[in-house]
Amino acid sequence: MSLQNQIRVIPPVAKALAVLAYLGVAIGLIAIAIPQSRNTSSLPKGGQVVLGLFAATIPAIYVLLLGYIYGDARRRRMRYVVWTLLAIFIPNAIGIILYFILRDPLPVFCPRCGASVKAGFTFCPQCATALQPVCAQCGRAIERNWPHCPNCGAATAMGKAGAGPAPPVPPSPQPL
Ligand SMILES: [Zn+2]
Ligand SMILES: [Zn+2]
């Protein structure tokens, strides 16, 4: 997924808050904190400005990350409010790291009705379209390269193809 798409996940409110945080922190640092601190007041004025502009990116990136977690957890159908709160309140960015370790896979879209479906589902809950190859006999999900169904043992389409010419079968009505 492109960076542009990732940025689109961040809610506009979080982007606006990040800009405000950046400006607020940069102005506060350059106007007040840096000239008054014993460590930085001896820096030349230009150096103080660069330091303030640089340091202010940290809270702005933090706000953008929280916004990303909110939007990303939401599109993954996770508990997005809970995850955003965990990311804010678990110290040392551990909540943020946990989120990226534990997040669910992105939902997929049903090719027939377009509903967003949790990854791993075999059928679309809205229109019952098969989202993965399924066994013609028992209807359970199978992998494309399995010659036989692991649930009922029936030969799959691939198993039949691999077994040479298929025996003649009487014509049957096409499944939907
Ligand atoms: Zn569907
Ligand atoms: Zn089966």
In this prediction, residues 13-42 reach a mean pLDDT of 95
Instruction: Tell me the CA–centroid distance for residue 119 and ligand 1, in Å.
Output: 13
Residue 22 tokens, joined = 């950046």
CA geometry: angle 118, 1, 116, nearest 5 deg: 20
Smallest-distance ligand from the CA of 137: 2
CA distance 111 to 132: 11
The model's pLDDT over 128-139, given as tens digits with 9 standing for 90+, comes to 998 989 998 998
List, as ranges, residues with CB under 5 A of the ion ligand 2.
135, 137-138, 149, 151-152, 154
Q: Which of 6-10, 96-100, 109-113, 170-174 has the lowest mean pLDDT?
A: 170-174
pLDDT at 125: 94
CA distance linking residue 136 with residue 149, whole number of Å? 9
Surrounding ion ligand 1 within 5 Å at CB are 110, 112-113, 115, 124, 126-127, 129
Nearest listed ligand to the Cα of residue 111: 1
The H-assigned helical ranges of the chain are 3-9, 12-28, 34-36, 45-55, 57-75, 80-89, 94-102, 157-162
- Centre of ligand 1 from the C-alpha of residue 33, in Å: 57
Q: Which ligand is nearest to the CA of 116?
A: 1
How much is the pLDDT for 12?
96
Ligand that lies nearest to the alpha carbon of residue 153, given by its number in the listed order: 2
Per-residue pLDDT of 69-113, as tens digits, reads 999 999 998 999 999 999 999 999 999 999 999 999 998 899 999
